[in-house]
A and B are shown apart, each in its own frame.
Chain A
Amino acid sequence: MRPRFELLEPALIERIIDEALQLLMEPGIKVEEPEAVALLRGAGAVIDGDRARIPEAAVRRALDTVPRQFSLYNRAGVETVRYGSGNVHFDPGSSGVSVLDPVTLEARHSQAADLQRIVRVADALGSYDAVSTSVVCHDVPTEIGDLYRLFVCLMNSGKPIVTGAFSPRGSGIMLDLLAIDAGGHAALAEKPRAVFDVCPSPPLTWSEFACRNIIDLGRAHVPSEMVSMPLAGVAAPITLVACIVQHAAECLAGIVLNQLAQPGAPIVWGGAPAIVDMRTGSTPMGAIETAMIDAGYAAVGKSLGLPTHAYLGATDSKVIDAQAGLETGMTALVGALAGIDMISGAGMLDFLLAQSPEKLVIDAEAIGMAQRLLRGISTPQTTLATGSFAAAGLEGRFLELPETRALFKHEQFLPTKIIDRTSRRAWLDAGGLDAFGRARVRVDELVARPVSAPDPEIASALASCVRAAGAPFGLSADGVLPGV
C-alpha cells in the first residue's frame, strides 16, 4: 500500500472546481495578449476589454484533450520522469538570484559557474530526477539569461531539465537548443527532455508573455508546467481553500489557452503559492500552510486526472541551519505524501532567492527518506516473521541470516555520510562536522567527478547557437563561455 495524505474531501474538491469555474466567468480572467484573446473568443469566451469570461464548456473541451500522462527523457533518450504515473519526482528549485557562499555565508550574486556547480551536484545525486535552471547567471547578458541557463544544463548534465523562458525570443532559441540536443525538432517533440515553467500572475491574470509562452510551447508540443502562485491574504484571499480555488481558476485558464493552441500538448498543474506572513509581508515557502495549499491544489489537479507539480522542500532560512532542515524535510514530506509528480525547491533558501549546492546534498537525504516512506511497508517474504524465527531460533542471530543481507537494502534507505549515524568518537575523529560542514566536503567531491557532457559535435553546435544569440548583446564570439 502506498501511503497517501488527503487534505480534501471529494465533496470539497467538487466545490473548489465549481467555484473556480465560476471565477472564470465572474470576474473572469485578465488576458493581456491579442492572440490569446482571439483563441479564447473563438472558443466561446466573452471578451470585455482585456477580460475574458471563459465558459465551462470551453474548459471541459480542453480537459478532454489534455494528456493525463507524459514523460521526460534523458540525453540518452531513456524515459526517466513520468508525469502522471503516480511516482513522485524531485528537482532543485529554479531561478534563484544568489548563492549561499559556503565559506563566508554571504548571499552573493549567482554566476554561470555557480549554476554549473549546482547542475553537476544535482546530476550526480540519485535523489534528483531532473536538474533545473537553478539560478540566474549575472555574468551573462540579461537578454540571453534564460537560454544561457539551459545551455549550462545541457552541457553539464544528462538528466531531464526543468526550465523556463524570460522572453518569447529566448523561448524560441531554447527550443532550438533542445532540438540540437535531441537531434531535431521532431525528435524533441517525440521525446521531450525539458519542461518549461510558465507563470500566471496572481490574481487571475495571464500576462502577455505568459500567454505567448504557453501558446508557443503548446504548438511546439513541448511540455509546460504552470506555476500559479496565489499569495494568501495579499494576491489571493486569505483562506487556504480560496487560494486553492484561485489556483484552479488560473490553471484551468492556462489549460484552455494551451489546448486551444495545440490539442494534446502536455501541460502540468503546478504552482508556487505561499501564505503571507502578516508581520513582515514575506511569503514563506517553508510554512506548513504553504505546503497545505500545495497538497490541496494537487488533490484538485489529480481529481481532474492531471499531472501535478509544486514548490516544496525549500526554506526561508538564510543559512543551512535547523530551520532549513525542518522546513525542508516537513514540506518535502507533505508533497511526497500528496503524490505530487514533480516537486521543485530543493537547495533553496531565503524565499526562493538563494540556491545552495550544500543544501542540495543535504536535501537529497530528506528526499531519499521521503521516497522510502512512499515505498511503504512491504511483505517480501512468504511469512512475515515466523520464517525468520524458524531460521534464527530463539538465540536470534538474525545478522547471520542470508535474508538479512538480501533484504536490508530494500528495507532500509541507506543515507550518505551527510546523515551522521556514527558514534560520537567516530564523529569527532572524522572532524566533528555538522551537516553543513559535511555537505561542504561532499559538494567538493561531487563536482570533482567527471562531467556528464554531450558529444563534442553537439556541444559545439550548442555553443555556436548560444554565441549567435548572444552576439547582439555583447557575448564574445570566441571568448570563454562561463559555466561550461
Chain B
Amino acid sequence: MHEVLFEAMRQSVIDGDPAASSSLAAEALATGVPPLDAIDQGFVPGLSHVGKLFGEGELFLPDMMLAARAMQKALAILEPELKRLATTRTVVGRVVIGTVKGDIHEIGKNLVGMMLSTSGFEVTDLGVDVAPERFVAAAREHNADIVGVSALLTTTMAGQRTVVESLAAAGLRPQTRVIVGGAPASQAWADEIGADGYSEDAIGAVTLARHLMGVA
C-alpha cells in the first residue's frame, strides 16, 4: 500500500542520505505506516541492495558506511515507536561483536555488525579494544547466541583465543557460539582456538551466522 514511500526509503539508504531517511521515517509514523513495515520493506531492502552491490565490486566502502548511517538515522526514529507498540522485529539471533583488546581497527567489524543487523540479527557492538571480560559480561547480559571477535593484527589475534577461553570459563560455551574475523584470521585459526566459524568478508559472516542459528 505504501510502495512509493518504501521505494523512497530504499533509495535514501542507497543514496546514503541520512536527512532523507530520517524524514521518511518520520513521515511513516505521521501517516500511520507500521514502523516494522517501514524497516523491513523500506530501509532494509535498500541496505541489502548496497551490500549486494558491494559484494559484486560495484559499490565501495564509503557507500556501505553512508548507507548504514542513513539506516541508523531511520531506526533511531522508528525504534521508540516499535517499543511503544510493543512490537519487535523477528530476531534471527543475538550477536555481541567487538575488536579484541589492544586492537583499535574497526572497519571490518563495523561492516559485519551492520550486515548482521540488517539481516535480522540483534547486534550489540562493544567497539574496539574490548577486554575478554567485557565480551563475557555482554554475552551474558544480552543472552548472546553468537560472539563475534575481530582482530586485524597478528599481534592481537591471540586475543580471539582468550575470548573463547573466557567464555568457556564463564560457563557460556558451547551454547554461545564464537565467530572470528580479520586479516590474520583463517578457518584453520578458528579451528585451532575452538571457535565455531570464520568468514572472509561481511557477506560471508551473515551466511555463517545464519548457519549457526540453523536458518537457511
Contacts and interface: CB of A to CB of B under 8 A. Distances in A.
Contact of A429 (B63, B69, B183, B200): B200
25 contacts: A399-B61, A399-B65, A399-B107, A400-B62, A400-B65, A400-B66, A400-B69, A401-B62, A402-B16, A402-B66, A404-B62, A404-B65, A405-B16, A405-B62, A405-B63, A405-B66, A408-B60, A408-B62, A417-B57, A423-B183, A423-B200, A425-B186, A425-B200, A426-B200, A429-B200
B211 to A, nearest CB: 18
Contacts, number: 28
Interface string B29-72: 00000000000000000000000000001001111011001000
Interface string B179-216: 00001001000000000000011000000000000000
A417 B63 CA distance: 20
Contacts of B62: 399-401, 404-405, 408
A417 B58 CA distance: 12
A402 B67 CA distance: 11
B49 to A, nearest CB: 16
Contacts of B183: 423
B127 to A, nearest CB: 11
Interface of A: 399-402, 404-405, 408, 417, 423, 425-426, 429
Contacts of B57: 417
A408 B62 CA distance: 9
Nearest to B184: A423
A408 B61 CA distance: 10
Residue with the highest number of chain A CB atoms closer than 10 Å, among B16, B65, B183, B186: B65
Given A404-B62, A425-B200, 16 more contacts: A399-B61, A399-B62, A399-B65, A400-B62, A400-B66, A400-B69, A402-B16, A402-B66, A405-B16, A405-B60, A405-B63, A405-B66, A408-B62, A425-B186, A426-B200, A429-B200
Contacts of A408: 60, 62
Nearest to A408: B62
A399 B63 CA distance: 9
Nearest to B63: A405
A405 B201 CA distance: 21
A318 to B, nearest CB: 33
Contacts of A405: 16, 60, 62-63, 66
A53 B127 CA distance: 81
Interface string B68-110: 0100000000000000000000000000000000000001000
User: A-B pairs with the 6 shortest C-beta distances?
Assistant: A405-B62, A404-B62, A400-B65, A399-B65, A425-B200, A405-B66
A429 B203 CA distance: 15
Contacts of A426: 200-201
A245 to B, nearest CB: 50
A404 B107 CA distance: 14
B103 to A, nearest CB: 16
Nearest to A423: B183
Contacts of A402: 16, 66
Contacts of B16: 402, 405
B129 to A, nearest CB: 13
A73 B183 CA distance: 48
A425 B66 CA distance: 27
A257 B62 CA distance: 57
B184 to A, nearest CB: 10
A408 B59 CA distance: 12
A141 to B, nearest CB: 46
A417 B56 CA distance: 12
B189 to A, nearest CB: 11
B214 to A, nearest CB: 25
A417 B61 CA distance: 17
Contacts of B65: 399-400, 404
B192 to A, nearest CB: 16
Nearest to A416: B57
A400 B110 CA distance: 11
Contacts of B69: 400
Contacts of A417: 57
Nearest to B111: A399
Nearest to A412: B60
A295 B16 CA distance: 47
B100 to A, nearest CB: 18
Nearest to A400: B65
Residue with the highest number of chain A CB atoms closer than 10 Å, among B16, B62, B63, B107: B62
Contacts of A423: 183, 200
A484 B57 CA distance: 33
Residue with the highest number of chain B CB atoms closer than 10 Å, among A399, A408, A417, A429: A399
A399 B69 CA distance: 11
A306 to B, nearest CB: 42
Nearest to B106: A397
Contacts of A425: 186, 200
A212 to B, nearest CB: 52
Contacts of B61: 399
A396 to B, nearest CB: 10
Contacts of B107: 399
Nearest to B201: A426
B66 to A, nearest CB: 6
